[in-house]
């Protein structure tokens, strides 16, 4: 059941809202005991890479696109570090409206680029970073009257709250600590709003501490000022001037959490740990959550026995280059059994 159906009563869905549905949401929440026991916590991973376009963006995109159709939009436009464009392109294709996507040239993971193109979006590579492409997309939306489906579109964050609701329903309440990557700062804001709303509705009894992690080379919320030239291997969060910074700051402050930055090598280390000790392949931006927890543990700042949810925002298959950059090659052998037996030594 897609999120408009599953959570329609809590979303601004009316009789006139088209029932757009790619069966997004209802993603697995997986307990990761091997990694959790190393960290001394009860660790859960929310596998947002299992959404139809392979990232959490689908939760918000479905409502943004449904509302754009309801309002008679002729086309969609977005700027993206990759996943928003993949999601927008998928929903545009599904409902049959044109979609224009602006990408920072050369800085989008291969899988995401392939997605936007194969879904049939008009893909425009801009010589500039994400922050610039977003400015351009906003202007284009004003000029042409296209619906902008970045998280400046309020329906995106409204519907992304569904992630928090699923966590609460699955665990029977909110976790102690919620950790999440922060790029444009929409998702952390949406999760917090979702937790607060379920608490206010009496559907959960507590609120988690919210911790938002940023890559060291793109950490405006940690340094407290925009980052003019963001750079990180986690291209999804290569963002220097987050649109929802104010909401994210409020979420962290109200929940007693914090922002923390993590260097690229630790993000890649965590990607390997998550895969090799959890069986989960997530893209680098997602793995910053585990990298951040590992850093907290090292610093002696991770409370023993906490129930921790990390949002694994995007599928590892989207960025095979990042994974291949840190693992060995397969062992090559000729086609003889002798060579195979040699290769099978422990
Ligand atoms: C895998 O696709 O901004 O803090 O243009 O793709 O809500 O921005 C992606 C962001 C985390 C950060 N993890 O979320 C885009 C884009 C993944 C992402 C984030 C993104 P926000």
Instruction: Quote the ligand 1 centre to 88 CA distance (angstroms).
Output: 13
Give the nearest ligand 1 atom to 55 CA: 1
Q: Using an 8 Å Cβ cutoff, are 184 and 221 in contact?
A: no
C-alpha distances in Å from residue 279, one per residue of 84, 88, 145, 319: 25, 28, 44, 17
User: Which DSSP symbol is given to 99?
Assistant: E
Q: What is the pLDDT at residue 92?
A: 98
What DSSP assignment string belongs to 122-154?
Answer: EEEEESS-HHHHHHHHHHHHHHH-PEE-STTSH
Closest-CA residue, ligand 1 atom 18, reads 236
Closest-CA residue, ligand 1 atom 20, reads 236
SS3 call for 52: coil
The distance from CA 216 to its chain's CA centroid, rounded to whole angstroms, is 18
Alpha-carbon distance 68 to 33, whole Å?
A: 42
Q: What is the pLDDT at residue 266?
A: 98
Instruction: Quote the ligand 1 centre to 182 CA distance (angstroms).
Output: 7
State which H helix or E strand residue 104 sits in: strand 99-104
Give the nearest ligand 1 atom to 184 CA: 8
Per-residue model confidence as pLDDT tens for the chain (346 residues): 999 999 999 999 999 999 999 999 999 999 999 999 999 999 999 999 999 999 999 999 999 999 999 999 999 999 999 999 999 999 999 999 999 999 999 999 999 999 999 999 999 999 999 999 999 999 999 999 999 999 999 999 999 999 999 999 999 999 999 999 999 999 999 999 999 999 999 999 999 999 999 999 999 999 999 999 999 999 999 999 999 999 999 999 999 999 999 999 999 999 999 999 999 999 999 999 999 999 999 999 999 999 999 999 999 999 999 999 999 899 999 999 999 999 999 9
Alpha-carbon distance 75 to 202, whole Å?
A: 39
Alpha-carbon distance 133 to 139, whole Å?
A: 10
């Amino acid at each position: 059941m897609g999120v408009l159906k599953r959570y329609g009563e809590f979303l601004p869905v009316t009789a006139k809202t088209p029932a757009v549905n790619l069966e997004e949401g209802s993603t697995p929440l997986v307990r990761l005991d091997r990694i959790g026991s190393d960290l001394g916590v009860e660790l859960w991973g929310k596998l947002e890479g299992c959404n139809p376009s392979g990232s959490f963006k689908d939760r918000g995109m479905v409502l943004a696109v449904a509302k754009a159709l309801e309002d008679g939009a002729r086309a969609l436009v977005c700027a993206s570090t990759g996943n928003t464009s993949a999601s927008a392109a998928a929903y545009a294709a599904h409902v049959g409206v044109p979609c224009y996507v602006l990408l920072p040239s050369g800085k989008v993971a291969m899988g995401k680029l392939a997605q936007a193109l194969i879904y049939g979006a008009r893909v425009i590579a801009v010589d500039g970073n994400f922050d610039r492409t977003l400015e351009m997309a906003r202007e284009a939306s004003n000029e042409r009257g296209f619906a902008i489906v970045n998280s400046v579109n309020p329906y995106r964050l409204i519907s992304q709250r569904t992630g928090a609701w699923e966590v609460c329903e699955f665990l029977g309440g909110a976790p102690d600590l919620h950790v999440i990557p922060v790029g444009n700062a929409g998702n952390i804001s949406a999760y917090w709003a979702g937790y607060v709303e379920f608490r206010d509705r009496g559907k959960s009894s507590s609120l988690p501490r919210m911790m938002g992690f940023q890559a060291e080379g793109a950490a405006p919320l940690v340094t407290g000022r925009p980052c003019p030239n963001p750079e990180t291997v986690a291209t999804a969060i290569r963002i220097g001037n987050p649109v929802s910074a104010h909401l994210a700051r409020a979420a962290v402050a109200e929940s007693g959490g914090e922002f923390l930055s993590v260097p690229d090598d630790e993000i890649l280390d965590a990607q390997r740990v998550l895969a090799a000790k959890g069986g989960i392949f997530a893209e680098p931006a997602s793995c910053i959550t585990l990298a951040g927890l590992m850093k907290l543990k090292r610093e002696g700042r991770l409370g023993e026995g906490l129930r921790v949810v990390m949002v694994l925002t995007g599928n590892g298959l989207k960025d095979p280059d990042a994974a291949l950059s840190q693992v060995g090659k397969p062992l090559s052998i000729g086609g003889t059994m002798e060579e195979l037996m040699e290769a099978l030594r422990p």
